C-alpha cells in the first residue's frame, strides 16, 4: 500500500496532464482510492482540507469514519490563555491541562525519557540553553515565545472582530467556538499570516499553532519560530494521520483474515505493533521502530534497499526469518 497527501487543488483540470499520467501508472499496479478529508472531521480544531490518495494491492479502501465530537479553538488553547507571553520566555510549566491536551497526550504518548533542547530564561530550576530531561506526565512545555508587535499592529489586531480578517495583514482572528483556518507554512524566509488569538491582540504562538494542529505538548519544534511554524504548516495534522493509518491497518488486517494464500501474514507481528486501549476508549497502535540497516519492506508502501515490493514472497520469507514468525 501507499499513501499520498496533497492540497485539494491537485484535482483541478490544469494539473490533469500530470495527475492523469500518474494515475495511469499507479493503476497498473494498485487499486487507487481518492479521499478528500477535512481535519476538523477527525478531532483537529482546524478547517484543513487535503486530498489523500491510497494505493492498495488488495482492493478499494474506504475513508475513515468521522469523529462524533468536534474540537473548537477554545477547546484546544483556552487552557494556555493565562500564560504571560513575551519575547524572552519560550518554556513554561503548565498547571492543569484542558481535556483536549490530555487527550492528545494519551493518543501520542511521550517515551519514558525524552531529551528536549530548550532556551529557558526565567524558569527557576533550569539554566539557560540547557537540555531538559522530560518524563511522562511532565508539564514543562516549549513554544511560548511571543512575536513582537508594534503598538499600531496590536491596535489593529485588537480592533479585528473574531472570524474576520485584519484588512492590511490578512490575518484572520480566531473564534473560540469555531475552527482555525488552515495553518500554512509560507515560503522562503517568511511564514504565512498567522491567525490572531481570539482573546489577545497578537498572533498565535508556536505552541498554540501546534495545539490547533493536534500535536501533543511534549513535541518540541526547536527555538526558531520561523522553522517551527513552517514545520507545522507543512505537516499532516497528527490526529488526521492517525485516522488514515488506522484505516489502512484495518484494511490490511481484513485482507489478512480473509486470505489463505502464501502472502498472508499476521500484520501486527510483522510490524512489531503493540496494542493497548487508552482511557478515552480508542484503540492505539505504537510501532516499536526498526533498527538501521534492517529490512524495510514491511512498512506501508516502502521498499528495501533491493527494491523488493510489499507482498513479494522473497521479501516476506526474509521478514519471517528475521522476525522468527511461527
pLDDT in tens, 51-72: 999 999 999 999 999 999 999 9
3-state secondary structure of 79: helix
pLDDT of residue 115: 53
Query: What is the percent of the chain with per-residue pLDDT over 70, rounded to a whole number?
Result: 71
Residue matched to cell numbers 494539473: 15
Flag whether pLDDT at 243 surpasses 80: yes
**Which of 139-153, 196-210, 251-265 tops mean pLDDT?**
196-210
Choose among 309, 307, 269: nearest CA to 287: 269
pLDDT of residue 113: 56
Cβ neighbours of residue 256 under 8 Å, at least 6 residues apart? 264, 265, 266, 267
pLDDT of residue 307: 35
Cβ neighbours of residue 308 under 8 Å, at least 6 residues apart? 297, 314, 315
Looking at CATH, the fold of the domain delimited by 73-234 is given as DNA Methylase; Chain A, domain 2 (3.90.120)
d(C-alpha 85, C-alpha 278), whole Å: 33
d(C-alpha 193, C-alpha 180), whole Å: 13
pLDDT of residue 310: 38
Give the model's confidence band at 255: pLDDT under 50 very low, under 70 low, under 90 confident, else very high.
Answer: confident
> Using alpha carbons only, how large is the chain's radius of gyration in Å?
22
- Tell me how far apart the terminal alpha carbons of the chain are, to the nearest angstrom: 24
Flag whether pLDDT at 300 surpasses 60: no
Return the higher-pLDDT residue of 161 and 191. Answer: 161
Mean pLDDT in residue range 22-41: 96
Give the model's confidence band at 189: pLDDT under 50 very low, under 70 low, under 90 confident, else very high.
Answer: confident
pLDDT of residue 57: 93
pLDDT of residue 183: 96
Flag whether pLDDT at 322 surpasses 50: no
Which cell goes with 79? 487552557
Cβ neighbours of residue 232 under 8 Å, at least 6 residues apart? 183, 185, 206, 209, 210, 213, 215, 221
Q: What is the mean pLDDT of the chain?
A: 78
pLDDT of residue 72: 98
Mean pLDDT in residue range 157-182: 96
Return the higher-pLDDT residue of 277 and 249. Answer: 249
Give the model's confidence band at 280: pLDDT under 50 very low, under 70 low, under 90 confident, else very high.
Answer: very low
Cβ neighbours of residue 58 under 8 Å, at least 6 residues apart? 1, 31, 251, 252, 255
Mean pLDDT in residue range 194-217: 97
Residues of the chain with CATH 3.90.120.10: 73-234
> Could you tell me how far CA 315 lies from the centroid of its own chain?
30
pLDDT per residue as tens digits for the range 88-113: 889 988 888 999 999 999 999 876 65
Amino acid at each position: 500500500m501507499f499513501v499520498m497527501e496533497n492540497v485539494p487543488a491537485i484535482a483541478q483540470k490544469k494539473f490533469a496532464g500530470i495527475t492523469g499520467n500518474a494515475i495511469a501508472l499507479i493503476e497498473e499496479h494498485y487499486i487507487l482510492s481518492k479521499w478528500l478529508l477535512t481535519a476538523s472531521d477527525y478531532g483537529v480544531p482546524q478547517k484543513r482540507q487535503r486530498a489523500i490518495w491510497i494505493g492498495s494491492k488488495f482492493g478499494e479502501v474506504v475513508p475513515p469514519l468521522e469523529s462524533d465530537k468536534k474540537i473548537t479553538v477554545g477547546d484546544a488553547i483556552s487552557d494556555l490563555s493565562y500564560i504571560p507571553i513575551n519575547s524572552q520566555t519560550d518554556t513554561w510549566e503548565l498547571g492543569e491541562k484542558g481535556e483536549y491536551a490530555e487527550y492528545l497526550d494519551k493518543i501520542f504518548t511521550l517515551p519514558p525519557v525524552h531529551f528536549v533542547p530548550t532556551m529557558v530564561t526565567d524558569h527557576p530550576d533550569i539554566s539557560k540553553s540547557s537540555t531538559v530531561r522530560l518524563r511522562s506526565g511532565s508539564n514543562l512545555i516549549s513554544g511560548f515565545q511571543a512575536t513582537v508587535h508594534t503598538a499600531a499592529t496590536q491596535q489593529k489586531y485588537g480592533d479585528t472582530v473574531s472570524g474576520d480578517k485584519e484588512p492590511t495583514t490578512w490575518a484572520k482572528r480566531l473564534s473560540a467556538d469555531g475552527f482555525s483556518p488552515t495553518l500554512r507554512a509560507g515560503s522562503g524566509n517568511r511564514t504565512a499570516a498567522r491567525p490572531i488569538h481570539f482573546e489577545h491582540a497578537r498572533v498565535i504562538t508556536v505552541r498554540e499553532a501546534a495545539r490547533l494542529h493536534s500535536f501533543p505538548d511534549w513535541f518540541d519544534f526547536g527555538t526558531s519560530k520561523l522553522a517551527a511554524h513552517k514545520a507545522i504548516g507543512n505537516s499532516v495534522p497528527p490526529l488526521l494521520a492517525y485516522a488514515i493509518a488506522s484505516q489502512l491497518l484495518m484494511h490490511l488486517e481484513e485482507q489478512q483474515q480473509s486470505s489463505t494464500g502464501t502472502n498472508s501474514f499476521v500484520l501486527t507481528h510483522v510490524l512489531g505493533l503493540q496494542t493497548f486501549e487508552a482511557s478515552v476508549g480508542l484503540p492505539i497502535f505504537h510501532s516499536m521502530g526498526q533498527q538501521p540497516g534492517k529490512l524495510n519492506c514491511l512498512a506501508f508502501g516502502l521498499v528495501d534497499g533491493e527494491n523488493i515490493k510489499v507482498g513479494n514472497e522473497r521479501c516476506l520469507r526474509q521478514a519471517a526469518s528475521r522476525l522468527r514468525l511461527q
